[in-house]
Amino acid sequence: PVSGGRIKLGKQPDYHLYGWDNEYGNYEEEVADFAAAKYLTSNKEYLEFIKDNGYNREELWTEEGWNWRNFKQAEMPLFWRKNEDGYRLRLVAEEIDMPWNWPVEVNYLEAKAFCNWKSIKTGKNYRLPTEAEWYTLHNKAGLMEVTDWEKAPGNINLEYFTSPCPVNMFEQGSFFDIIGNVWQWSETPITGYPGFKVHPLYDDFSTPTFDGKHNLIKGGSWISTGNEATIHSRYAFRRHFYQHAGFRYIESDAPLNIQQADYETDVEVALSCEENWGDSVASDDNNMAKQLALLAQNLLIDNTDARVLDLNADTGRLAFELARHFTDVTALDFTARMIRIPIHLQEQGYVRYMMKDEGELVFYHDVVLEEQGLSEFKDRIVFMQADAMNLKPNFTGYDLIILPALLEELSDPSLFLSHIDRRLNDYGYLIIASDYDWDEQNTPRNKWPGGFKEDGEPVTSLEGIKKVLEPKFNLIGEPRDITRLVKKSSRVTEHRQLQLTIWMKKDV
């Protein structure tokens, strides 16, 4: 049995050895206890799967695996040969009698089918290890970095053989061949760790494999040198590919924990992510969310228990900034595709998005809540999907409501504002930030609060808002402008000036 526990993966930018971009970042996982085979699966052990008609039993294979098996008409591993005298093995430069005590070399699909077969035969839950479980084995073995070896602790780095070797030759702790001999397939499709950043000199090395179809191989093989032999190396291949790769099976009743970290590609959502979280809006002056949060803090100074409602959460930056100052923040957004971004940030600590850049080029961005200094406040926020025009009665009793660029998205802004007082406590505040960019696709022309002429005289949106709010609110101070930057690409940024007004509910 192998004791699990909390494990940290990823290396820091100042690590002393070269690494590909996918090796950097920070990821933590709680690994459950599991049992692992002492040896890599040998040719002899794999032969039992073949003899039990494993290549012809659809129930043992994943859908992808069965499709591959039928396409290739596979009956045994690719490097095996069979003649009237029995099985032989094809090596790099020769063919030899089958070495039954060498590790079998298969693709992921075959390894997975073997595990399923063994599970059915024994009634236990066998599978391949995840990346985190492999590192747990590595840590238990106390293996050092390649630069600290006097002699390689296994069949790796071309220090012993130009082929695999018996699975019981290199003991490492309580197991054999944690590293070396052949690579080991894992259950983990590769993705970047939280904080992953694409390296500009090889921008297409990692991200094309972050598609859930490329599984990590770990541990290196007899021919692995340089970066391939380092502790942090991360190489992944399509599940039907062959390498000098085999597998070790583990037994575990714990649910399979696969890190889901796909890049958000929805154009509108990615634009909101970049507006809220991109590097170009790092300064307070350029980030509308930071400006509004600072204003809220100044309005309710020393009242950290105030209840605050953000009625246009988008991808969540304002809510997280508000949570720095207030212990009870509710953030609502009309669309599920927007609100799932801050929920993922809150639950997982990071999100990823991809944006179009020049022509056919794109750029990738990782947002890590801890790096923003916001992770310690995340549990103060409740994110929910809701329609601002049809809010449920429970959204009430707030000391501050903020409408960031919301009015221009509503079907009837004046009707909405005429009822907003019901959501506020007496003397509660209402902050409105709007560019009054009315669009008849969102707001019918006859529902605009302003931005038109009436009896030949211009009616501004602010005048229309005052007409609705002044019976129940006092305007605090003079209206002022705040900046909203929406980055469309590396060289195109939309600059909007929103009019900001602050209102206090009257005691009526």
Report the pLDDT value the prediction gives residue 259, as an integer from 0 to 100. 78
Round to whole Å and give the CA distance between 29 and 8.
7
Exposed e or buried b for every residue in 203-217, given b needs 16+ CB within 10 A? eeebbebbeeebbbb
Please write down the HEC assignment for all residues of 293-334: HHHHHHHCCCCCCCEEEECCCCCCHHHHHHCCCCCEEEEEEC
Report the pLDDT value the prediction gives residue 284, as an integer from 0 to 100. 64
Exposed e or buried b for every residue in 28-64, given b needs 16+ CB within 10 A? ebebbebebbebbbbbebbbebbeeebbebeebbeee
The tens digit of pLDDT for each residue in 103-142 reads 999 999 999 999 999 999 999 999 999 999 999 999 999 9
Cα distances (angstroms) measured from residue 161 to each of 166, 286, 466: 11, 60, 83
Domain boundaries in the chain? 5-251, 267-505
Q: Say whether domain 5-251 belongs to CATH 3.90.1580.10.
A: yes
Phi and psi torsions of 418, nearest 5°: -70, -20
Cα distances (angstroms) measured from residue 87 to each of 50, 81, 95, 105, 247: 12, 6, 11, 14, 20
Looking at 166-277, list the stretches that DSSP marks H as alpha helix, in order from N- to C-terminal side: 267-277
The tens digit of pLDDT for each residue in 297-335 reads 999 988 989 999 999 999 999 999 999 999 999 999 999
Report the pLDDT value the prediction gives residue 281, as an integer from 0 to 100. 52
Cα distances (angstroms) measured from residue 361 to each of 196, 203, 207, 352, 377: 19, 10, 13, 17, 36
Q: Which CATH superfamily is domain 267-505 in?
A: Vaccinia Virus protein VP39 (3.40.50.150)
Burial of 459 (0-12, 13-18, 19+ CB in 10 A): middle
Round to whole Å and give the CA distance between 321 and 291.
9
Report the pLDDT value the prediction gives residue 280, as an integer from 0 to 100. 59
Round to whole Å and give the CA distance between 411 and 449.
11
Report the pLDDT value the prediction gives residue 410, as an integer from 0 to 100. 97
Round to whole Å and give the CA distance between 304 and 324.
9
Q: Say if CB 221 and CB 184 are below 8 A apart.
A: no
Q: Say if CB 354 and CB 322 are below 8 A apart.
A: no
Tokens of 277: 């979280």
- Report the pLDDT averaged over residues 425-430: 96
Exposed e or buried b for every residue in 256-277, given b needs 16+ CB within 10 A? eeebebebbeeeebbbbbbbbb
The tens digit of pLDDT for each residue in 51-89 reads 999 999 999 999 999 999 999 999 999 999 999 999 999
Report the pLDDT value the prediction gives residue 162, as an integer from 0 to 100. 96
- Report the pLDDT averaged over residues 404-417: 97
pTM of the model: 0.73
* Type of residue found at 168: N
Whether 362 shows a pLDDT value over 60: the answer reads yes
Round to whole Å and give the CA distance between 498 and 508.
30
The tens digit of pLDDT for each residue in 183-227 reads 999 999 999 988 888 887 887 889 889 888 999 999 999 999 999
- Report the pLDDT averaged over residues 422-443: 96
Exposed e or buried b for every residue in 387-403, given b needs 16+ CB within 10 A? ebeebeeebeebbbbbb
- Report the pLDDT averaged over residues 356-384: 92
Whether 282 shows a pLDDT value over 60: the answer reads no
Place of tokens 């309710």: 300
Query: What strand order describes the sheet that includes 235-238?
Result: 235-238, 214-218, 183-189, 245-246
Looking at 447-497, list the stretches that DSSP marks H as alpha helix, in order from N- to C-terminal side: 461-469
Report the pLDDT value the prediction gives residue 360, as an integer from 0 to 100. 82
CB atoms within 10 A of CB 226: 11
The tens digit of pLDDT for each residue in 445-501 reads 999 999 999 989 999 999 999 999 999 999 999 999 999 988 888 888 899 999 999
Phi and psi torsions of 493, nearest 5°: -130, 130
